[in-house]
Amino acid sequence: MDYRQAWSYLDDLQFFKIKLGLDSMSAFLESVGRPQEKLRFIHVAGTNGKGSVAAHLLTILAAAGYKVGLYTSPHLSSVRERFRINHTYISEREFAEHATAIRNSLAGNRLPRGPGDCLPRITYFEFTTALALLWFAEQQVDLVILEVGLGGRLDATNVVTPLVAIITNVSMDHEAHLGNTLAEVAGEKAGIIKPGVPVVSGVVADESLAVVEGSCRERGAPLYLLGRDFDCAEQTDGRWTYRPIGHGKPLTGLRGGLAGGYQRTNGAIALAALEILGKVGFPVAGETLRAALPEVIWPGRLESFCLSEPGLRKTVCPDPAGVGHGYRRYLLDGAHNPAGVASLVGYLRSRDDFDKLVVVWASMADKDYGTSLAMIAALGDILVFTRPEEERSASPGALAEALAAEHRGKTICVDGVGNALEKARQITGGNDLICVAGSLYLVGAVRTLLLGELVG
């Protein structure tokens, strides 16, 4: 298969299908020589912040000279975004070659679903996970940062024994699959904990912490907890301090590359994991770490930029004072659950560089979008509802109906992401902010329209 054929084949594996369980994944990896046993891993789970922690780790380890594989999900626009080594994405040729090999190995290994119809034994996510492991093994990377797709215990990535496991935090999300209480969700995420493998976590002191602590005790896994064993603190000039494991000498004057105060927490979790890695053969010099932190990039997460009008050329955002309609300022954020949206709202409240806030919003129908919408509606001046795709997205009308009565008068329902963006541009000026949030699929579609493909 060439790249387009491989992409089409993968797309046919039901992109939005969720199937939890390890049997198919384990059996497939066994059939292709267990590539995961040739690799060393950092396994990252958690409700929010997984990608940001992974981006911190990749940037710092790459700057230290290591060859690092990164596997994340979902992608914003191209499936190739899920696979990279240091700062280079998998090529179309490599993607096609490994996809073809996987397809060929699956030949004859199919489950009947009905007359004349068959269903592959592995899903879209299992396929991409297998492809990542095969590519990383072929490329002989030093380390792999492996992000959990959903939960942890039954996630397709949970076929590895890492050098360190990370559980960023636990909050409610994907209740249909992970449970309806924090303890149940935490139990699924704690499923990545392996006997004797150190765990770094930012879980807070609620029932989720008790679950993580209990799982670590049962499996003899050392637990390093934010706020107890390591910590971070904001400095007055916007920089921050990292207080290391064991209460050693703090790292002061650190400057991060990602917006949002909560990114200090994600950075601290990454630094704690790096401390553990340093003891097993992956040291990073303090000056390398300090220089790499400002270079961390994670598209679609509190990503701010300005585009000139007309022409949509990316430009430096000028001082909004006295500026007319010569440009539009945008903020893209993948917040899609209540905890993530609360962080987005906190960030927006901390800014004072815009007049009117216009929110372009979409949500998956299976999300708790009522809670999230209530938070963003209280802040936004105008809400433009749309949907990035038909199968799982809530309709704009359903989103409007979920709002309290006092907010419905400031909603506009628009079919099509491009049309929603155009409406936002029409009702804003250069002093205003267009915030796009609620769904990573929406953010991906908008980012592609405004800035082009992330992967060339």
**pLDDT score, position 389:** 76
User: What's the CATH number for 3-295?
Assistant: 3.40.1190.10
CATH topology of domain 303-451: Protein-Tyrosine Phosphatase; Chain A (3.90.190)
CB 271 within 8 A of CB 284: no
**pLDDT score, position 113:** 40
What are the tokens at 376? 């963003």
Q: What is the CA radius of gyration of the chain?
A: 22
**pLDDT score, position 106:** 82
pTM of the model: 0.93
**pLDDT score, position 390:** 65
The residue to which tokens 């059939």 are assigned? 31
**pLDDT score, position 56:** 98
CB 53 within 8 A of CB 226: no
**pLDDT score, position 366:** 77
Give the closest residue to 137 by CA, choosing from 26, 60, 53, 41: 41
Instruction: Give CA–CA dist 284/304, Å, rounded.
Output: 30
CB 81 within 8 A of CB 73: no
Instruction: Give CA–CA dist 56/161, Å, rounded.
Output: 21
**pLDDT score, position 15:** 54
**pLDDT score, position 417:** 96
CB 340 within 8 A of CB 368: no
Per-residue pLDDT of the chain (456 residues; tens, 9 = 90+): 999 999 999 988 865 466 667 888 998 899 889 999 999 999 999 999 999 999 999 999 999 999 999 999 999 999 999 999 999 999 999 999 999 999 998 875 543 343 444 444 678 999 999 999 999 999 999 999 999 998 889 999 999 999 999 999 998 776 666 777 999 999 999 999 999 999 999 998 789 999 999 999 999 999 999 999 999 999 988 899 999 998 889 999 999 999 998 999 999 999 999 999 999 999 999 999 999 999 999 999 999 999 988 777 888 787 655 455 688 999 999 998 898 999 999 999 999 889 999 999 999 887 778 999 999 999 999 999 999 876 778 999 999 999 999 999 999 999 999 999 999 999 999 899 999 999 999 999 999 999 999 997
Q: What are the structural domain ranges in the chain?
A: 3-295, 303-451
